[in-house]
Amino acid sequence: MLLPKKSSEYRTPAVSSQRRKELQLFERKSGIKFRDIELLNLAFAHRSFANESSQDVDNNERLEFLGDSVLGLVVAEYLFENLTDRAEGDLAKIKSFVVSEDSLAEIARRIEVDSYILIGKGEEYSGGRNKKALLADCMEAIIGAFFVDSGFRPARKFVLRHIVPEITKVLEDRHRKDYKTLLQEHVQKTYKTYPRYNLVKKTGPDHDKTFWIEVVVNEKSYGPGKGANKKEAEQNAAALAFETIHRNVKATKPAKPAKAAKNEKAPKPVKPPKPAKVEKREWNSRSSESSPFRKRP
């Protein structure tokens, strides 16, 4: 059995009292709890930070390597146990989507990993904090650090909490849909205009805001969608609008007449009955002469 290691076995960045408070806030947001918070701090340490640091510290790449394997095992086990009717090829495709850079970066943004990453000045100036690859790598490092800190079961629970919604997206074919783009394309084509997004309200404290946004299409409001940031809230509002509009379009389409089966012959049309023939009477001079209505001279 692999026993959790102590942070003293790693060259971890120093954790100030302010940094400790920040890491504890991240724990509450993400649903994770470290025995040794210095390991969590190390998971956030990008190579650029370690290279520029005056301290002799490690970066998070080894934890990322470990986290990648833990993530893969947890997802593979979950798919194997829960999707018993799927073939190996299907399971492999689903797994590749949910452990992809896009999926992990989305989870990282959802729990605001970008706010806690330790990066160097050069990487900061180049927008590294928002790079998908950097966010996905940091997410794997957090998983690896939690596995080292607390073992497989807690790490598995943490992974599933955040990865199962991504699996659901794949199963419902929502994993590759950018609803803002889809909605904009539909609105431009149909109404020759653009969707309009309005901030309805903000809730929660400054460090943990929730945004509520509605989208207006052809003077009709949809939503609101909510999210941890405006981008996420707009995406969710667009999803609500797009799905609602398309449901309504389907509902208003006239039903097509049922087609006859291939082997079933269509009934022959019934011909109307022919009118009865009227027998013509021939009147000759003789018959007319004998007629009782003939006037006598």
Catalytic residue, chosen from 36, 38, 64, 68, is 68
Catalytic residue, chosen from 140, 214, 232, 234, is 140
Listed in sequence order, the residues at least 6 apart from 95 whose beta carbon sits closer than 8 Å to its beta carbon are: 72, 75, 76, 79
- 3-state SS class at 63: helix
Distance, CA of 283 to CA of 186 (rounded, Å): 82
Alpha helices by DSSP H, listed for the chain, are 17-30, 37-43, 47-52, 61-82, 88-98, 101-110, 121-125, 132-150, 152-171, 179-191, 230-252, 285-289
Q: Phi, psi (5° rounding) for residue 215? A: -120, 140
Residues 90 and 76 sit within 8 Å (Cβ to Cβ): no
DSSP state of 244: H
The verdict on whether 140 is a catalytic residue reads yes
Task: Say how many CA atoms lie within 13 Å of 273 toward its Cβ.
Answer: 3
Distance, CA of 226 to CA of 161 (rounded, Å): 19
The verdict on whether 234 is a catalytic residue reads no
Dihedral of alpha carbons 62, 67, 68, 72, sign: positive
Query: Known catalytic residues?
Result: 68, 140
